[in-house]
Structure 1
Amino acid sequence: MKLNIQNETSRLRAVILGTAESNGPTPKVEDCYDPKSRLHVLAGTYPKEEDMVKEMEAVAEVLKKYDVTVYRPEVLENYNQIFARDISFVIEDKIIIANILPDRKFEVEATEYVWSTVAKEKRIILPDECHVEGGDVMPWNEYIFIGTYTGEDYPDYITARTNIHAVKAIQDLFPHKKVKAFELRKSNTDPKENALHLDCCFQPIGKDKAIIHKNGFLVEEEYQWLVDFFGKDNVFEITKDEMYDMNSNIFSISEAVIISEQNFTRLNTWLREQGFTVEEVPYAEIAKQEGLLRCSTMPLIRE
């Protein structure tokens, strides 16, 4: 397979979509990877497998409608494999296999049948000290935007997924790109004060627009840089509640077509006003795990 990802919005041709099949029982509170899952476990509202399977199949149908080749992970018994973006990501013609939480290493093996078809020199495994997940990495033409957290208390946050070693390693891999890192707000307990990944508080759409949540960024100047880069009139600012519902975590099939959650009324109205075709799907159950459409898709080829 010849990979090609230059940005977030060029016409999608091939993608890995996660799976909710055999997702396993509701996790224990102490085993949750993020504060939103923890909240729903405590409340007794953690999503049911059958509901999540239906939601993911709705996305698969939209992708097939647009003639996108869809790969799915090999199903592991009683294992959460929804968030395909966490475990690997593509920049240009290289696939980077993420160093993720140790408990999730089997997820990587479940998509090996796809990335093993890529030329060996194009498969990159970063050094052990580099922690990175695909939700923090956004190729945007001459830029690579990366969400990170560099506080000394990094080891204390299970929600801190991408470190500065990974940022430097990606810059070394792509010396011709401008790598721009953003410090994200982290909380192990409050999902409204936690940007788990960069795509939980920001995402470029179309050719020159973006969705953003100011409080997801620890450094106001870094948030302001993005607003200035895209232009204030091209930026859709989401509220704290909308970030909690994952409004920035939609997914572009092309510069003109976006898959979005059906309940994102304010966002979807704005998108249509901007001329986008919005394919609405139900995804509110999956959102309870602090991930949405971008998190559960991993693009392989855009053109």
Structure 2
Amino acid sequence: MLKLHITNETGRLRAVVLGIANQNGPAPKAEEAYDPKSLEHILAGTYPVESDMVFEISAFHDVLERYGVKVYRPELIPELNQIFSRDIGFVIDRYFIKANILPDRAEEWRAIEHIVKQIAPEDLIKAPEEVHIEGGDVILWNEYLFVGTYKGDDYSAINTARTNRKGVQFLKDLFPDKIVKEFDLIKSMTNPRENALHLDCCFQPVGRDKAIIYPGGFQNPADYLYLRKLFGDENIFTITADEMYEMYSNIFSISEDVVVTERRFDRLNYWLRNQRFHVEEVPYHEIGKQEGLLRCSTLPLYRD
């Protein structure tokens, strides 16, 4: 059986599901966009082409293999976007939780069923239909479980709202020994610089005690202050709205000391190196046009 173990974002990675970009299908129509950044590029005629996305995700794959990570891939379903494996499931401790994602993306689950079948049945949890959670909204940090949500009364009408209150409560009930902290996120379907699609679009821990944060991603300023107090001012890299738009907080940790980032993130990469991280830079700008980056492309299964 496939062993699972995830207790934080930065333990030494041993096994991961990495999305694929092959036979991704044509650029969607404007009315088919899931987020404002994709919509922006669809309307501008700059939506990424398959060959560029395959090249970028292959570069990421090469880095993971170079560090000895076991990389699982979804089965290919033609004409289906299968890049962002983070959303369809996530591991907490030894449990794999099947996410309830947008109905239009439900086929993505079928593409990883061959992996899920290797998990012990007692370690697989499927949320009830009314419970909405996507993996990008779930950040595990030792005894803390950070969860992005949207609490507006118009939740059902907001396409970029992916985790509801019932999703938060579901995790609280499942993991009563963890400190579950929810964050009400800013959402927009028209302005990508005012849309925190998931929690990892505006916040992510790195290393042992540091974090990347965009303060403007939170509805309640007290939530940002909570994180600032928890991590400490000296350990926080604060990003701008433009950097949030470029997905600066959506990098990926292979270990406490090694991070994979986009090669254009000059300011962040300089800071990380100054903090004594080993930075692996890869091209991921084209994939980023879909409002997802390196963390979004991964579903970690085992970390030391």
- TM-score with structure 2 length normalisation? 0.99
Amino acid in the other structure paired with 2:26: P
Give the match for residue 199 of structure 1. Answer: 200
| Counterparts of 1:250 and 1:129, CA distance in 2 | 30
Amino acid in the other structure paired with 1:47: P
Pairing of 1:52-91 with structure 2 (within 5 A):
52-91=53-92
Amino acid in the other structure paired with 1:170: L
Deviation of the 1:290 alpha carbon: 0.1
| Counterparts of 1:243 and 1:101, CA distance in 2 | 23
The reply to whether residue 273 of structure 1 matches residue 274 of structure 2 is yes
| Counterparts of 1:159 and 1:226, CA distance in 2 | 23
Give the match for residue 184 of structure 1. Answer: 185
Deviation of the 1:12 alpha carbon: 0.1
Give the match for residue 16 of structure 2. Answer: 15
Amino acid in the other structure paired with 1:204: P
Amino acid in the other structure paired with 1:121: E
Aligned residues: 303
| Structure 1 residue runs of 4 or more that deviate by more than 3 Å after TM superposition | none
| Counterparts of 1:176 and 1:106, CA distance in 2 | 33
Amino acid in the other structure paired with 1:67: G
The reply to whether residue 45 of structure 1 matches residue 46 of structure 2 is yes
Amino acid in the other structure paired with 1:108: W
Amino acid in the other structure paired with 1:18: G
Deviation of the 1:159 alpha carbon: 0.2
Amino acid in the other structure paired with 2:173: D
Per-residue Cα deviation, 1:127-182 (whole angstroms, up to 9, x for no partner): 11111100000110001000000110111110000001011011111111110000
Specify the SS of the correspondent of 2:288.
helix
Specify the SS of the correspondent of 2:81.
coil
The reply to whether residue 224 of structure 1 matches residue 258 of structure 2 is no
Pairing of 1:27-176 with structure 2 (within 5 A):
27-176=28-177
Specify the SS of the correspondent of 1:226.
helix
Specify the SS of the correspondent of 2:55.
helix
Give the match for residue 302 of structure 1. Answer: 303
Percent identity, aligned pairs only, is 60
Give the match for residue 285 of structure 1. Answer: 286
Deviation of the 1:116 alpha carbon: 1.2
| Counterparts of 1:282 and 1:244, CA distance in 2 | 16
Specify the SS of the correspondent of 2:289.
helix
Deviation of the 1:26 alpha carbon: 0.5
Deviation of the 1:78 alpha carbon: 0.7
Specify the SS of the correspondent of 1:300.
strand
Amino acid in the other structure paired with 1:209: K
Amino acid in the other structure paired with 1:134: G
Per-residue Cα deviation, 1:166-201 (whole angstroms, up to 9, x for no partner): 110111111111100001000011000000000000
Give the match for residue 3 of structure 1. Answer: 4
Deviation of the 1:2 alpha carbon: 1.3
Unmatched 5+ residue regions in structure 1? none
Deviation of the 1:70 alpha carbon: 0.2
